[in-house]
Structure 1
Amino acid sequence: MGSSLPVKPASASGQSTSSSTNTPQNRSWWATSWFLALLVALGVTGATVTWHHKPETHSLDYAVCSTNRTIYTVDLDLPNVQCIVVHDSLISDTGDLEDITLRWRDRWWSEIPLAGVLHLPWPFNFLEPSLRVINIQPDSIVVPGLTDAHAHVLQYGFKMNLNLEDCTSVDEVLSHLKAYVISHPDILGDPTRWIEGMGWDQNKWPGAQYPHADDFDREPLLRGRRISLARIDVHASWVSNRVLQLMTPLPETIDGGLIIRDEHGKPTGIFVDNAMDLIPSQPFSEARAMEYFTRATGDALAVGLTGVHDAFSVPDEIQFYKKLSETQKLPLRLYLMGSVNSDDYWGKEIPRLIQHGLGGRLTVRSVKLFTDGALGSFGAALLEPYSDNPSTSGIMRVQPDALAKLVREFAIDGWQVNIHCIGDRANHVVLDIYEDILANASFSVDALRPRIEHAQILTLDDIKRAGKLGVIPSVQPTHATSDMWYAEDRLGPYRIQGAYAYRTLLNTSPTRVLPLGSDFPVEGINPLLGFYAAVSRLSVKGDSPHGPGGWYPSERLTRAEALKGMTLDTAYASFSEDILGSLSIGKKADFVVLDRDIMTVPMEDILGTKVTATVIDGEVEYGKL
């Protein structure tokens, strides 16, 4: 990481060290001698000298500097600086090394009696403290701490336990499951134990058809076992015949969901959206939650995340985080969106917490509601039928009237409301609800900061309306580059114009706010995957359905906009722009050191970037300075 060098203080007079008795240096010598003699006399007579400064605090101060001025602050007034100074958990100064050193020394002296009269000259200036300076490598950069505006922390740990994302066929899934069972003796010897995993995607398989419960029975080791596998988007699940037996009898239909059946009406083992609630699940376990949490936060810090907006936290999980935050400092900042599966008001079922726990890293002041499903599982609610499946227009998981009632009740109670919307119908319904609420003068858009999570497919008119209302679209750029291979087939050439339209959404925002997230574990946890997708509109292989120029390249963001979307915009979307999101004086000392300049390197080099250090509250949580 570069050297840690003390800054040598300049002499108080700035003059050369001449031997003449009439030099300012020697005059200061006598003044200092008199001052030291006075201190000795005071000590001899029993008088007490009180030093009001706190050297133990200042000794912890340090500056991080870049000779190339590649510290990107995301502060419009001073976008690039040479150095930042960390004091306790805050950024106390920014600027050039010489200037911040002088200001730091002046602050040190200002806390010492008689400091306005006397500064220690040479040779006594060795008594002054030195500001520790950490110089990053010439090719490295510093950026504000990166925050994922939409992700799922415990679900990430769950997925990593049995990850099926890379499977390209049903047979490959079965092979993974077999290996998993063999490697877990407790499951191998007990057929009643659940096998749960996540990540399968039929769109990657030959024929792109949903799998069947009978598929598991083709592998003898899996036959008769309780298997439940969530699709990559977590909007559909695939279960075994044994689980289907446990679920008998099943309803014919379910509001807001779908039970896939064969031509004889027999369930195939695929449950979509609200129908997934029928599937039995293991009870919440603190031990299992801790295992998942440790894996998720460790991986998050390693890729430069200092905060996560967790987009689905049920009451048991919130209590887990609350208890944990009160016994130890959380490894990163968590902004939780509480969620309860009910059409009745449930705001009293979750605690309201602002900068809670040790270090103040836990906040609960928002809720997560749902409207529809996902495009990949034909669950996104569209105004017109799917272009590649005219038999359906998707699923509305909740009726508009019930949703409107809930949103109003949460707004009255002071909760921020964040609503999952994928399809253009879902987005249209939610914008109607927000527009109705914001028409009431008692509701302020800045106080409520209503969010649409995903804002994936909108009509062009609704994009303009979202901007006019000031609704915050919270988007995930890697969804665009994952879905681009089939999205236009699903939506057709006209609807696609309002889909994954990040540039248009940003341009219509009155506050120029577009928070970026990943939706991990649906997508990768590395925020630079989203940064790259936002600025390139390309896959990680460098291609797209429109070639190397990117998929609908007019919707690309600039690198500065993408960085702001992962820092200051996520802070605004969580009411924390005054303390987070930029390397500005007085804000939390959350920052990341990267081994290359993602703001200038060739596009294809962005994804090779490594995190050297992840720092939160001035403390290194990953890597080293």
Structure 2
Amino acid sequence: MSSDTTSFKAKSAPERSLVNGAYDGAAAEKAGIRNSQSSASHVPPCRPVKIVLAALSLALSGFLFYDAVTWRSNDVIVSDSYALCSRKGAQIYTVDPRHPRTECLVVRGEKFVSTGSIGHILSHWQEASTGRLQVRYLEPGQIVVPGMSDSHTHVLEYGEKKQIPLDTSSIEETVSRVREYILSDPEIFHNKSRWIEGWGWDHTKWILEQWPTSQAFEADPVVAGRPIMLRSKDGHAYWVSDAILQAMEPIPDEVEGGVIMRNSSGKPSGVFLDIAGDLVTAIQPPPTSSTLRKRLDVTVKDAHSVGLTSVHDAMLNPLPLEFFRREALAGTLPIRVYGMKYFDETAPYWGDSFEKIIRAGNNRLTVRSVKIIGDGALRSGGAALYEPYADNPETRGFMRVSPEVLNEFIPKFMADGWQVNVHAIGDRANGLVLDAFEAALASANVTALRPRLEHAQILAQKDMARFGDLGVIASVQPTHAISDMWFGEARLGPERVKGLYAFRSIIEHGARITLGSDFPVEDMNPLAGFYAAITRLSREGTSPHGPGGWFPEQRMTREEALKGMTLDPAYASFSEDILGSITPGKLADFVVLSKDIMKVPPQELLTTRVVATVMDGKPVFGAL
């Protein structure tokens, strides 16, 4: 942003209502200040002449002045009111359908109080303000968008993953990364009983694509004998060491809704898929509050640096849920969290007894939804399909919960006023969940409760139209599409793959799409998702269908993608009244970007930087 600012004094009672108190619509209208003005055309035709004459007269008499103040990037805003403007046209994308673009925004305290043209904002503040308004200008090329949101994340798991980078090319390299982690911390090195946890290995990206085994850990003398649990990139596979296998005994022969991988002798080999992973987590020692705080700090630091001001945490178990509640009530939760309380079918029903958390801690935490995991993942072959996998005809994947459970509990939760969000990847899983949402119509207003299909990856044509009819939200992750496009057709076949990540078809059937990343599964940066949504290309500009994109007819427009990571996530979390757009009266969450993502060539999206991230009117990353 520009290193200079304009400060001025002026006076008028109507504008004092904007400076010193709540926005006074009547007084402001009387003074000519309108809520959310987007161009100078709103000023009466004779106004500019009067403004110039008045400004000249006052300047000569010494009552109105402009300070040539140098405002460095690390300077603090000294007033609780300031304006941010663009000199080169309307470079503020509001995502407010009434005024999609504007030249200036004005913040008072924690809220937006006005938008409009430079002339409009400055003239009315000159006439009306008794204080000093700092006006900050964008640098050429920079733009402003609302605070960005990620609709599907795993907040604390991201912080856990950052401990050991597992973006490896082989089993041996992965074990080597664990060895380096152990050697880097003397406390861990000398305590062989301490659990070592990591996240992110992907056997489909290894040079030799194969499932790992516990024996790989035992081959390294530093690593051997330690309890080690590494979750796969998609979070659906657990790779464990011999020490953990021994602690899990006796291990059952099979687990419904999961797979226990075995060696040639029939013994567990060290990999557990989907619900079988619960056998591992059942003996996992709980993290301390200090550990959770460290993980949160790591996540939030990275989130703010890429422009995220709010996240939807897609599976809160009791321990992290209470951690977030304590942080919110203490006023120390540094990002907005919309939490989904985890559904465990073995536990007593709690939908009629657990008290919802609504905007606790200065609008930082809301928990009013339940997360149900319907099926497995496509990458590991667990997504539930109507027909067998093309590359493995012996299986159709599997449901982690039965249709009977879905049809019993989804209507129950909705009748008790809970938003229901269901992980559904395969076409059969999506169809069964839509069946349950339809069944819930007998006892609840489904549309009003805004149910969500988390992922909604593979959709049969017969199920597509039901999205719009029921008011179901598709919570999708565009970066999954450009990861899975390389093996999607092999798994599903040439016809069924057309329903994989069919974003355009979902939109055209009347459904609302909200975008996320599923971090730490994919890149946290929302601009990576924006790029994937509008191009359906890899970062290198390639796809199985060439440089035009993978199934290019399913691309989203830039406007849809921006809305999908701002206003639509706000809607999907019942917060569109306070978040999601740069609209007077809403909380002042916004992001300054180094390039105009609505215009630059697609490849430049990946080099666009976040200049500043602002929450409640105050920078949490960068500076104004």
**TM-score interval, smaller chain:** 0.7 to 0.9
CA positional deviation for 1:360: 2.1
Equivalent position SS for 1:188:
helix
What is the CA–CA distance in structure 2 between the aligned matches of 1:481 and 1:256, rounded to whole Å? 27
Map 1:573-588 onto structure 2 (within 5 A).
573-588=572-587
The match for 2:432 is: 429
Equivalent position SS for 2:261:
strand
The match for 1:494 is: 495
What is the CA–CA distance in structure 1 between the aligned matches of 2:128 and 2:446, rounded to whole Å? 41
The match for 1:203 is: 204
Equivalent position SS for 1:161:
coil
1:404–1:17 CA distance, 2 compared to 1 (3 A): closer
The match for 2:134 is: 132
Q: Over aligned residue pairs, what C-alpha RMSD do you find?
A: 2.3
Comparing 426-435 with 327-336, greater Cα deviation is found at 327-336
CA positional deviation for 1:597: 0.7
Q: 1:58 touches 1:87 (CA, 8 Å); kept in 2?
A: no
CA positional deviation for 1:135: 0.2
CA positional deviation for 1:389: 1.0
Answer yes or no: is 1:220 the counterpart of 2:224.
no
Per-residue CA deviations over 1:72-106 (Å, capped at 9, x if unaligned) read: 01112111100001011111111111212333455
The match for 1:71 is: 92
What is the CA–CA distance in structure 2 between the aligned matches of 1:107 and 1:314, rounded to whole Å? 52
Answer yes or no: is 1:90 the counterpart of 2:90.
no
For 1:149, which of 143, 148, 151 is the aligned residue?
Answer: 151
CA positional deviation for 1:5: 2.0
The match for 2:25 is: none
The match for 1:623 is: 622
What is the CA–CA distance in structure 2 between the aligned matches of 1:247 and 1:15, rounded to whole Å? 80
CA positional deviation for 1:222: 1.7
Q: 1:452 touches 1:471 (CA, 8 Å); kept in 2?
A: yes
Corresponding pairs, count: 569
| Bigger-Rg structure (1/2) | 1
What is the CA–CA distance in structure 1 between the aligned matches of 2:345 and 2:81, rounded to whole Å? 50
Answer yes or no: is 1:549 the counterpart of 2:553.
no
Map 1:23-422 onto structure 2 (within 5 A).
59-68=79-88, 69-105=90-126, 108=129, 128-164=130-166, 166-279=167-280, 280-343=283-346, 344-347=348-351, 350-357=354-361, 359-422=362-425
1:133–1:218 CA distance, 2 compared to 1 (3 A): same
1:221–1:103 CA distance, 2 compared to 1 (3 A): same
Q: 2:10 touches 2:128 (CA, 8 Å); kept in 1?
A: no
What is the CA–CA distance in structure 2 between the aligned matches of 1:58 and 1:99, rounded to whole Å? 23
TM-score (norm. length: structure 1): 0.87
CA positional deviation for 1:14: 5.5
The match for 1:535 is: 534
The match for 1:471 is: 472
Q: 1:329 touches 1:361 (CA, 8 Å); kept in 2?
A: no
What is the CA–CA distance in structure 2 between the aligned matches of 1:609 and 1:195, rounded to whole Å? 36
* Aligned amino acid, residue 309 of structure 1: H
Comparing 140-149 with 95-104, greater Cα deviation is found at 95-104
* Aligned amino acid, residue 99 of structure 1: H
What is the CA–CA distance in structure 1 between the aligned matches of 2:533 and 2:514, rounded to whole Å? 12
Per-residue CA deviations over 1:6-50 (Å, capped at 9, x if unaligned) read: 2546899758699xxxxx99xx99xx9xxxxxxxxxxxxxxxxxx
1:288–1:391 CA distance, 2 compared to 1 (3 A): same
1:455–1:66 CA distance, 2 compared to 1 (3 A): same
What is the CA–CA distance in structure 1 between the aligned matches of 2:53 and 2:547, rounded to whole Å? 62
CA positional deviation for 1:350: 4.7
1:15–1:75 CA distance, 2 compared to 1 (3 A): closer
Per-residue CA deviations over 1:191-242 (Å, capped at 9, x if unaligned) read: 2111111111110113421111111122122222211110101101111122
CA positional deviation for 1:326: 1.6
1:2–1:225 CA distance, 2 compared to 1 (3 A): same
What is the CA–CA distance in structure 1 between the aligned matches of 2:521 and 2:285, rounded to whole Å? 21
What is the CA–CA distance in structure 2 between the aligned matches of 1:430 and 1:523, rounded to whole Å? 25
* Aligned amino acid, residue 140 of structure 1: Q
Per-residue CA deviations over 1:483-505 (Å, capped at 9, x if unaligned) read: 11111111111111111011111
What is the CA–CA distance in structure 2 between the aligned matches of 1:478 and 1:360, rounded to whole Å? 29
Unmatched 5+ residue regions in structure 1? 19-23, 33-56, 109-127
What is the CA–CA distance in structure 2 between the aligned matches of 1:488 and 1:172, rounded to whole Å? 29
Q: 1:197 touches 1:229 (CA, 8 Å); kept in 2?
A: yes
What is the CA–CA distance in structure 1 between the aligned matches of 2:207 and 2:78, rounded to whole Å? 63
The match for 1:2 is: 2
Equivalent position SS for 1:392:
coil
1:7–1:493 CA distance, 2 compared to 1 (3 A): same
Equivalent position SS for 1:287:
helix
Q: 2:352 touches 2:416 (CA, 8 Å); kept in 1?
A: no
What is the CA–CA distance in structure 2 between the aligned matches of 1:443 and 1:327, rounded to whole Å? 35
Q: 1:310 touches 1:335 (CA, 8 Å); kept in 2?
A: yes
CA positional deviation for 1:284: 3.3
Per-residue CA deviations over 1:561-602 (Å, capped at 9, x if unaligned) read: 100000011011011111111111111111000011111111
Per-residue CA deviations over 1:339-375 (Å, capped at 9, x if unaligned) read: 1423442336754111101x22111111111110101
TM-score (norm. length: structure 2): 0.87
Equivalent position SS for 1:515:
strand
Per-residue CA deviations over 1:544-563 (Å, capped at 9, x if unaligned) read: 11121111111111111100
Q: 1:503 touches 1:556 (CA, 8 Å); kept in 2?
A: yes
1:258–1:67 CA distance, 2 compared to 1 (3 A): same
CA positional deviation for 1:402: 1.2
Q: 1:313 touches 1:336 (CA, 8 Å); kept in 2?
A: yes
CA positional deviation for 1:620: 0.8
Comparing 342-351 with 523-532, greater Cα deviation is found at 342-351
Per-residue CA deviations over 1:113-143 (Å, capped at 9, x if unaligned) read: xxxxxxxxxxxxxxx4332111010110000
* Aligned amino acid, residue 486 of structure 1: F
What is the CA–CA distance in structure 2 between the aligned matches of 1:583 and 1:446, rounded to whole Å? 26
What is the CA–CA distance in structure 2 between the aligned matches of 1:189 and 1:15, rounded to whole Å? 75
CA positional deviation for 1:413: 1.1
